[in-house]
Amino acid sequence: MEEDYLRRAFDYIEEHLYETIRLDELAGSGHISLMQLYREVYRVSGHSVKDYIRKRRVSSACTQIKNSGLSMTEIALRSGFDSLPSFSKVFKKIVGLPPMEYRRHPVFFTFPPLTLTVPTASSRVKVLAQRTLSGVSGIYFPAVSADMEQQAIHALLPAILHAQSSGYRYRIFGITSLQDTLPHPASYTLFIHSENHEYWRSSMAEAHFHSIVSGELTGGEFAMLSVPWNSDTNGAWDELCSGWLAASMFSLSGTHCREEFLLNAAGKVKGLRLCLPIVKKQSPALITISTLAEQRYIISCAAGAGAEERAAERLLKWIGKAGAGAPQLFYIQTGEDTYRCGAALPPNGDCPALDNGLSIEHLPEGLYAVMPAESYGDFSRLAETMLRWLRQESPYTQTGLPFALYTLNSSCEETGMLICIPVAEANG
C-alpha cells in the first residue's frame, strides 16, 4: 500500500526514540530519499522530522515526570536527551512550563505517535509552499451557474492559444471563495500570472471580463490535488476538504482557494490543480482535570444518514419557537451512527414545552478531562488523543463518552470550544 513506506519510517522512530536517530537511516527504513522523508513527514504530521521526534520524546518524558519518582536528569537521559539543560530548554519550549513546574501543576501534555489513516496518507495530496505571484485578474459572469470555470476559460481561449503560439510565459488560476454562500449573480474570477499585463488586460476586456486589475496572488502553504479536466471537480474538492483536511494536522487559512489550469503544449486545458490554503494546527494543548458544574441541556438526537443536519435543525427550530434568545453554551456528542446536540438551559429557569425528539438531560457535576480545540473539526482527532492518554499514560480512568462544549457571544460567533471526557481517579 502507498502508506507502507511512511508507516515503516514512523515505526523506526518509535523503535529508536531514545537513541540517536540518523535521518539518512530513518529514510532508508522506508526506502525513500531524504528529501521525500522531509516532505512526506511534514505532509502527514504537520511537523518537520526533527520537531516530531522532539515532541515524541517530550511526551514520553511528561509521562515519567507525572508517574515516576525519577530525577529530572534521569528522565532527560532516558528520553533521548544528552543533558538536563538541553532537555529543560526543549521541554519549556514545547510544553510551556519548566519540567519541575510541570510536575507540580495539575496539567498534562501528550503527543502520541502518529496513526496513519488513508485520507491523511493519500499520496494524491501534496503540501507545498507557493510564492506570491503578480499578474492580472478579472471577473467573468457566465450564462449559467453550472461549470463556471469551463465557461470562463472558454471565453479566454483565443487569447490563450495566441499566447501559447507566441511563446508567452504565464499561469492561469481560478479563484473561489471559501464562504458558504456564492456572490449573486454567480461569477468566477481568473488570475493570470504573467509579465505581459497589458496583453492580458486587453484580452480579458475583449472576452467580456469585468473589474480587470493588476495585482498579486498571495502565497503561502497549500494542500494540492491534481485532477483531469472535465472530471468531477466537486468530488475532488470534497476529497481534499472533507477527507484529507479533516484527518490532517492542518486547518484552512485565508478566505479563498484556487484552481490552477494545467495546459498542454497546444494551449488546451488538460487538468486542474486544486490548491487549498492551509496553516499548521497548533499542537494539542495541555489537558487539564477540571470540575464542571451541573448543567441542564435541551438535547436533540438523530441516527443514520443526515443525522447531524436533522438533529441540529430540530434543536434550532425549538430555540426559535421558545423565543428566549440564542443560548450561549452548546453541547455536541457523536457516536458511530448517532449525533446528539444540545443547548444549555438556565440553572433555575422554566423550560418551554418540548417538541417531539427533544429531551431534557443533566450533565452531572464531576471530574472531567478537558482540552481546548480550535474548531469542531478537531473533535475526533483530539478526543482520540485524550482517550489514548487516559488508557496508556494517565492516573485517571474514563467514566463516560467524550463530548464537546462550545460557547457563543451575543453576536452568535463561536468564542471557544472544549473537548470533555468524564473521568475518575484510577485509585479512587
What top-level class would CATH report for the domain 287-425? Answer: alpha beta
Taking CA atoms, 378 is separated from 171, 224, 272, 350, 388, in Å, by 35, 21, 29, 34, 16
pLDDT digits (tens, 9 = 90+) for 36-67: 899 888 888 888 999 999 999 999 999 999 98
**Res 185: pLDDT:** 55
d(Cα 224, Cα 417) in Å, to the nearest integer? Answer: 29
Q: What is the mean pLDDT of residues 102-110?
A: 93
**Res 287: pLDDT:** 94
Q: Is the dihedral of CA 95, 97, 103, 106 positive or negative?
A: negative
- Per the structure block, which three cell numbers stand in for 260? 490552477
SS3 379: helix
According to the per-residue pLDDT averaged within each range, which of 231-240, 273-282, 342-351 is highest?
273-282
With a cut of 90, say whether residue 117 has pLDDT above it.
no
**Start-to-end CA span in the chain (Å):** 45
Taking CA atoms, 247 is separated from 116, 117, 119, 226, 381, in Å, by 9, 8, 6, 19, 7
- Long-range Cβ pairs for the range 167-173 (8 Å, 24+): 168/194, 168/196, 168/199, 169/194, 169/195, 170/135, 170/194, 170/196, 170/200, 171/133, 171/260, 172/260, 172/261, 172/263, 173/217, 173/258, 173/259, 173/260, 173/261, 173/275
pLDDT digits (tens, 9 = 90+) for 236-246: 888 887 777 87
**Res 347: pLDDT:** 67
User: Global pTM?
Assistant: 0.74
d(Cα 313, Cα 359) in Å, to the nearest integer? Answer: 15
Q: Are 368 and 304 in contact (CB under 8 A)?
A: no
**Res 349: pLDDT:** 61
- Average the pLDDT over each of 182-196, 268-282, 307-321, 396-410 and give the range with the smallest value: 182-196
Q: What is the mean pLDDT of residues 162-187?
A: 78
Is domain 125-280 annotated with CATH 3.10.105.10?
A: no
- Residue % of the chain over a pLDDT of 70: 89
d(Cα 127, Cα 132) in Å, to the nearest integer? Answer: 16
CATH code of the region 4-114: 1.10.10.60
Would you kindly state where each structural domain of the chain is located, as residue ranges? 4-114, 125-280, 287-425
pLDDT digits (tens, 9 = 90+) for 77-92: 999 999 999 999 999 9
- Average the pLDDT over each of 114-123, 146-155, 410-419 and give the range with the smallest value: 114-123
With a cut of 80, say whether residue 121 has pLDDT above it.
no
On the question of a common fold for 125-280 and 287-425, the answer reads: yes
Location of C-alpha cell 449573486: 184
- Per the structure block, which three cell numbers stand in for 120? 491523511
Give every CB contact of residue 309 below 8 A, 6+ residues apart in sequence. Answer: none
**Res 183: pLDDT:** 43
Location of C-alpha cell 520537531: 51
**Res 386: pLDDT:** 92
What confidence category does residue 182 fall into, taking pLDDT thresholds of 50, 70 and 90? very low
